[in-house]
Amino acid sequence: AEHHEPLLVSYVFFFHPDTGFAVGLTNVTHEQSSGVVLFTSDGGATWEKQHTTPRTGEWCWKISFPSRRVGYVSLQRNSQTPIYFLKTSDGGRSWQDKLFSTSYYFVQGIGFINELEGWIGGNSTLPTYATTDGGETWQSANFGSRVNRFRFLNDSLGYAVGRTVYKFSRATTVGV
């Protein structure tokens, strides 16, 4: 289905020149907006709406696919609670709204190094949060302020940017 209603796109992710996702919001007035995930299989000539969040006052901000099957989308809210994120386990065909926090947290960035291990950031006064179980539970990662983008080069090296640049590295032991 070709998509014609006006949407604001905040981020895109492509697996292939023809196949990708765009995330954003359904209304320029944030209080009336819901988050939206769009999909294209023809290089962006047409877009199909895959998911719209059921709440207003939020929008999709960033998208992270640690594998072709599993992906995550951060949902930003300016004032209301609880705070959610989106997860897919079928390559983006369906999306599930997942609880991040019952307390207020201004989410911007989300990044996963594999299907289970990832981070959410954004708040200026609270730290970035980490999960090791695919977003079922979250704990303080003890770093970060205003973290809004994660970029992993492989499973042992990555960067996050916010108020400063943060480097993730996992020491690897090589036996001979």
Residue 7's pLDDT band (cuts 50, 70, 90)? confident
Mean pLDDT of the chain: 91
- Residue 39's pLDDT is 96
10 Å Cβ neighbour count for 151?
12
Strands lying side by side in the sheet with 48-52: 8-14, 20-25, 35-40, 48-52
pLDDT, tens digit, 9 for 90 and up, residues 47-83: 999 999 999 999 999 999 999 999 999 999 988 899 9
Q: At 142, list the tokens.
A: 């003890």
Whole-number Å distance between alpha carbons of 164 and 20: 29
Whole-number Å distance between alpha carbons of 161 and 121: 10
Q: At 89, list the tokens.
A: 């386990």
Calculate the alpha carbon distances from 75 to 2, 62, 173 in Å: 24, 8, 37
Is the peptide bond between 17 and the residue preceding it cis, with omega within 30 degrees of 0? no
Q: How far is CA 69 from the centre of its chain?
A: 15
Residues 6 or more apart whose Cβ sits within 8 Å of residue 175: none
pLDDT, tens digit, 9 for 90 and up, residues 10-36: 999 999 999 999 999 999 888 999 999
Q: DSSP letters of 78-140?
A: SS-SSEEEEEESSTTSS-EEEEEESS-----EEEESSSS-EEEE--SSS--EEESSTTSS-EE
- pTM, to two decimals: 0.91
Evaluate if residue 3 carries a pLDDT over 60: no
